[in-house]
Chains A and B, each alone.
Chain A
């Protein structure tokens, strides 16, 4: 099946797998799609999946596949614009303050920066609103079980339900 013109390339990571695929995102971008509370699945096209133990080795190709949003840990994007319109993806057009953070899940350590409006408010970031994912910009995700394996992207979306710890940090002190 051919991906439509509004499809984007993404790397989806679960605790066990990596799926490199196209996602048909529509006008609200990937951020809108992932945080849409009315759907629980993401439809993938032209998906190539790999085991996290050998993330570069393609195990299989699937014309279409479906993943449960709840089971995604990270989504890695190479381009910020694939997130969607700025007004939606970055919570408006107000002045944003980038805060360097370290976020850990059971499988990954993510470093990058998150944008906050006035101050770093962990309760709001992790528990407020209905969105499922946090945007971490200019991010890298290190696999805890295999620290030489690092995924990086212009944006990494981190599942809020997978977050075990989040900490603002100053580079060099982490």
Chain B
């Protein structure tokens, strides 16, 4: 008999749901608010939770977030049963970790069907071991970060990914930009499918369906071509990154020029962080700030490298001044390459069309060096 925890602050609704579930053959327990629900869920195992969203102490969204971050309750199926029925509420609930969403007043048959579905799904996952055995994450994660914006971090990311591909690695390039991704543009790939198509809790199949392949063999998780309000959610991108680390030996992430939640996930998983800077005052200032922020976020400094990208033929600042400001030499100096603008126009990155050119040579050489050190 499945044990179901009902968390609802409505004193009329709780006994009604309990009665309905008991009649259907389940073993219901009651919690009158979010705090009590969390305490009960953490103290004994339940097969499923029926959760209200609007509760005075801790709302249902927060209850789900806490349950999903706790290993002992992370996989418990949750049905949200709420009077808040707008599309935004649904999206937010699913993003917070709900498995299903039903409106109040509820239809007992619909609730029964949904409980049956979720219990069956949980049982299948348990017997197949999909949720119990942690997956092996082989993929090496490189995050390319330029918080200044416009420093050519996409070019560096595409070139790095291409260089790794040429070394025989299985590479996925992820574009996290919410403000109109340029990876697909540089590679002339369709943005019909992007990370916007990922479900809130994607499995490996869902992730595989959102990837696009470049003629070179490079696989891309593209960003929407038009600006959107925010990047992928924390949970969604964490699951996506785990799936990518199973599929690929190298995951290169062209991070958004902001420390949003997806970038935070990427940085937490990164084996290497490439901070891109250009030789101008604003970019140097941002790079100093970025390095400080990465230090604050407790990223091991050994993981962080600085790439000085000379995006114009004449630098505004001498390299020595930049290195002095940064407190050390740049790990990689990406030379200005006149052919780069032509490559962008043609939609064929230099790493694929002219791997011996200045820019791909420098980046490729650096990558080889870094992998040898690793």
Q: Given A9-B104, A78-B103, is A55 in contact with B86 using a C-beta cutoff of 8 Å? A: yes
A-B contact count (CB 8 A): 46
Q: Cβ of B313 < 8 Å from any Cβ of A?
A: no
Contacts of A58 on B, CB cut-off 8 Å? Answer: 53-54, 59, 61
Q: Are B86 and A151 in contact, with the CB atoms below 8 A?
A: yes
Residues of B with C-beta under 8 A to A46: 54
A146 to B53, CA, bound (A): 23
Number of interface residues of B (CB under 8 A): 21
| Range, interface on chain A | 10 to 19
Of the listed stretches B88-96, B152-160, B247-255, B296-304, name the one at the interface; the rest are far from the partner chain: B88-96
Report yes or no: B83 in contact with A9, Cβ–Cβ below 8 A.
yes
* Residue interface mask A93-105, B partner, CB < 8 A = 1: 0000000000000
Q: Contact check: which of B11, B56, B91 meets A2 at CB < 8 Å?
A: B11
Residues of chain A with a CB closer than 8 A to B89's CB: 55-56
CA gap between A20 and B103 in the complex, in Å: 14
Chain A minimum-CB-distance residue to B85 = A78
- B74 within 8 Å of A by Cβ? no
User: Whose C-beta in chain B lies nearest to the C-beta of A56?
Assistant: B92
Indicate whether A149 sits within 8 Å of B56 (C-beta atoms), given known contacts A9-B104, A78-B103.
no
Q: Closest B residue to A79 by CB, please name it.
A: B105
Q: Which of A61-84 touch B at CB < 8 Å? A: 61, 63, 76, 78
Closest to A140 in B: B87
Best-surrounded residue of B87, B92, B104 (most CB of chain A within 10 A): B87
Contact A152 B86 (CB under 8 A): yes
Interface hits, A1-41 → B, CB 8 Å: 2, 9, 11, 20
Give Cα A118–Cα B55 distance, bound, in whole angstroms.
46
Chain B min CB distance to A51 (Å): 12
Q: Are A20 and B54 in contact (CB under 8 A)?
A: yes
Task: Enumerate chain B residues within 8 angstroms of A151, measured Cβ to Cβ.
Answer: 86
Let me know if B121 is at the binding interface, CB within 8 A. no
B84 close to A (CB within 8 Å)? yes
What mask results when residues 162 to 188 of chain B are scored 1 for a CB within 8 Å of chain A, else 0?
Answer: 000000000000000000000000000
- Enumerate B8-30 residues with CB–CB distance to A below 8 Å: 11-12
Cβ of B11 and Cβ of A56 under 8 Å apart?
no
The closest CB in chain A to the CB of B60 belongs to A58
Within 8 A of A (CB), among B70-88: 83-88
Please tell me if the beta carbons of A150 and B11 are within 8 angstroms of each other in the complex.
no
Among B11, B12, B84, which residue has its beta carbon within 8 angstroms of that of A20? B84
Residues in A whose Cβ lies below 8 Å from that of B83: 9, 20, 78
23 A-B contact pairs sorted by A residue (CB < 8 Å): A2-B12, A9-B83, A20-B54, A20-B83, A20-B84, A48-B59, A48-B84, A56-B61, A56-B84, A56-B86, A56-B89, A57-B61, A58-B53, A58-B54, A58-B59, A58-B61, A61-B54, A61-B55, A61-B59, A76-B86, A78-B83, A149-B88, A150-B86
List B residues at the A interface (Cβ < 8 Å): 11-12, 53-56, 59, 61, 83-89, 91-93, 103-104, 229
